[in-house]
């Protein structure tokens, strides 16, 4: 899936992948609109519930803030070249020479982070698309 099109659970999943490494996060099962993920580091395993209440950096400033600060992501209201059919504000985020757009500051910032860490295309579990 294109990073520029990620939203909701698929964007939150991609942020988790970017933060914990593509080899360290796997989808275990769906539950309540989210999913259980298994994070592992060497021989240590930790099951983490990822759902709309616990892990949602694309909508939660408390979770996205540390990423934005650490990665020095800049967020601006995008006033140039707003499409005529845009029914919501357009925001632009920049980090590490990359740039991403979104209808909210957090969507733009998390797309930029994913773009920086994982690239323009991200493999998302089918259940989240």
- Compute the C-alpha angle 68/74/78, nearest 5°: 130
Q: What is the pLDDT of residue 16?
A: 83
Query: What's the longest Cα–Cα distance across the chain?
Result: 53
Q: Are 78 and 103 in contact (CB under 8 A)?
A: no
- pLDDT (tens digit per residue) in 12-56: 888 888 887 655 555 544 344 455 454 444 444 444 444 444 678
Beta strands in 43-97 (DSSP E): 44-50, 74-77, 91-95
- In angstroms, what CA-CA distances link 12 with 43, 80, 85, 120? 25, 28, 26, 16
Q: Are 128 and 35 in contact (CB under 8 A)?
A: yes
**pLDDT tens digits, one per residue of 55-112:** 788 998 988 999 999 999 999 987 665 666 666 678 999 999 999 999 999 999 999 9
CA distance linking residue 56 with residue 9, whole number of Å: 8
Among 57, 53, 102, 47, CA closest to 75: 102
Residues 75/59, Cβ–Cβ less than 8 Å? no
């Amino acid at each position: 899936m294109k990073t520029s099109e990620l939203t909701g659970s698929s964007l939150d999943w991609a942020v988790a992948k970017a933060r914990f490494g593509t080899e360290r996060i796997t989808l275990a099962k769906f539950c309540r609109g989210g999913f259980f993920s298994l994070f592992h580091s060497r021989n240590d395993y930790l099951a983490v519930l990822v759902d709309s209440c616990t892990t949602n950096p694309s909508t939660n400033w408390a979770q996205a803030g540390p990423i934005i600060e650490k990665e020095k992501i800049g967020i601006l209201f995008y006033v140039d070249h707003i499409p005529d059919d845009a029914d919501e504000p357009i925001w632009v985020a920049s980090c590490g020479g990359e740039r991403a757009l979104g209808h909210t500051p957090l969507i733009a910032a998390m797309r930029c982070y994913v773009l920086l860490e994982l690239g323009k295309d991200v493999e998302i579990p089918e259940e989240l698309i």
